[in-house]
Amino acid sequence: MNTPNASRAPRTINEYLEQLRAALRGADPALVQDALYDAEEHLRAELADQPGRSEAEMLQKVVGSYGAPEEVAELYRDQEITIQRALRPPPPPKRRSLAGRFFGVAADPRTYGALFYMLLSLATGIFYFTWAVTGLSLSAGLSVLIIGLPFIVLFFGSVRALSLLEGRIVEAMLGMRMPRRSVYPEQGSTLMRRIGRMFTDVHTWTTLCYLWLMLPLGITYFTLAVTLLGVSLAFIAAPLALLFDRTAWGWLLADHLTVDWGFGPHVPSWGDALALCMIGIVLLFATLHLARALGRMHGHIAKHMLVPRAAS
Amino acid sequence: MDDVASQLKKFQKELAAGTVSLVLLAVLAQSRQPLYGYQIAKRLEELGDGVLAGKQSALYPVLRNLEGAGLLSSEVEPSVSGPPRRYYRITKPGRDVLRAWVAAWTATRDTVDQVLQGEL
Q: How confident is the model at residue B93 (pLDDT cuts 50, 70, 90)?
A: very high
Which residue in B56, B69, B57 sits closest to B25, CA to CA?
B69
| Nearest chain B Cα distance for residue A10, angstroms | 16
The letter for the amino acid at A160 is R
CB contact under 8 A, B56 and A180: no
Residue from B15, B24, B60, B85 whose CB has the most chain A CBs within 10 Å, to mutate: B60
CB contact under 8 A, B37 and A78: no
Where in the sequence is the domain holding B38, given as residue range(s)? Answer: 2-116
Domain count, chain B: 1
Compute chain B's Rg from CA coordinates.
16
Q: How confident is the model at residue A236 (pLDDT cuts 50, 70, 90)?
A: very high
A136 and A78 together in one domain:
no
A167: left (phi over 0), alpha (psi -120 to 50) or beta: alpha
A132 and A217 together in one domain:
yes
Q: What is the average per-residue pLDDT within A238-265?
A: 67
CB contact under 8 A, A34 and B61: yes
A66 and A146 together in one domain:
no
DSSP classification of residue A310: T
Instruction: Output phi, psi for A83, to 5 deg.
Output: -60, -45
Please give the helix or strand (H or E) that residue B85 lies within, else none: strand B85-90
Cα–Cα distance for residue pair A84/A89, rounded to 1 Å: 9
Q: How confident is the model at residue A67 (pLDDT cuts 50, 70, 90)?
A: confident
pLDDT > 60? residue A251? no
A59 and A101 together in one domain:
no
A301 and A164 together in one domain:
yes
CB contact under 8 A, B60 and A38: yes
Instruction: Output phi, psi for B76, to 5 deg.
Output: -95, 135
A162 and A35 together in one domain:
no
Query: Do residues A33 and A183 make contact, with C-beta atoms less than 8 angstroms apart?
Result: yes
A63 and A117 together in one domain:
no
Q: Count CB neighbours of A235 within 10 A.
A: 19
Of A198-212, A278-292, B28-42, the range with the highest mean pLDDT is A278-292
pLDDT in tens, A21-38: 888 888 888 888 888 888
The letter for the amino acid at A228 is L
Domain count, chain A: 2
Question: Could you tell me the strand order of the sheet in which B85-90 lies?
Answer: B35-36, B85-90, B72-77
pLDDT > 70? residue A88? no
Q: Regarding predicted confidence, which is higher, A196 or B25?
A: B25
Name the interface residues of A facing B (CB cutoff 8 Å): 34, 38-42, 44-49, 64-67, 71-72, 75-76, 78-79, 82-83, 86, 180-181, 185, 187
CB contact under 8 A, A45 and B68: no
Report the pLDDT value the prediction gives residue A231, as an integer from 0 to 100.
94
List CB contacts (< 8 A) between B81 and chain A.
48
pLDDT in tens, A101-140: 788 888 888 899 999 999 999 999 999 999 999 999 999 9
SS3 of A9, please? coil
- Domain of B89, CATH number, reads 1.10.10.10
| Nearest chain A Cα distance for residue B119, angstroms | 35
Closest residue in chain A to residue B37, using alpha carbons only = A42
A57 and A190 together in one domain:
no
Cα–Cα distance for residue pair A116/B34, rounded to 1 Å: 36
pLDDT > 70? residue A255? no
Cα–Cα distance for residue pair A153/A98, rounded to 1 Å: 54
CB contact under 8 A, B38 and A39: no
Q: Regarding predicted confidence, which is higher, B2 or B81?
A: B2
A186 and A55 together in one domain:
no
Q: How confident is the model at residue B105 (pLDDT cuts 50, 70, 90)?
A: very high
pLDDT > 80? residue A93? no
Cα–Cα distance for residue pair B53/B47, rounded to 1 Å: 11
Cα–Cα distance for residue pair A258/B54, rounded to 1 Å: 79
Average pLDDT, chain B: 84
Dmax over CA atoms of chain A, in Å, equals 93
| Residues whose CB falls within 8 Å of the CB of residue A42, separated by 6 or more in sequence, listed in order | A62, A66, B37, B38, B41, B56, B57, B60
pLDDT in tens, A183-206: 776 666 677 777 787 778 888 899
A70 and A18 together in one domain:
yes
Task: Give pTM, 2 decimals.
Answer: 0.65
Measure CB to CB from residue A65 to each of B13, B54, B68 and give the nearest one: B54
The letter for the amino acid at A89 is P
Instruction: Output phi, psi for A266, to 5 deg.
Output: -150, 165
Which residue in A72, A14, A75, A20 sits closest to A47, CA to CA?
A14
Please give the helix or strand (H or E) that residue A225 lies within, else none: helix A202-236
A31 and A158 together in one domain:
no
Report the pLDDT value the prediction gives residue A121, as an integer from 0 to 100.
94
Report the pLDDT value the prediction gives residue A6, as an integer from 0 to 100.
47
ipTM of the complex: 0.73
Q: Count CB neighbours of A174 within 10 A.
A: 23
CA distances from B91 to A86, A179, B68, B97 (A): 21, 23, 12, 10
Where in the sequence is the domain holding A217, given as residue range(s)? Answer: 95-312
Which residue in A294, A290, A292 sits closest to A232, CA to CA?
A290
CB contact under 8 A, A48 and B82: yes
Domain boundary among A87, A110, A129: A87
Which residue in A266, A286, A274 sits closest to A241, CA to CA?
A274
Measure CB to CB from residue A65 to each of B45, B64, B68 and give the nearest one: B45
A196 and A292 together in one domain:
yes
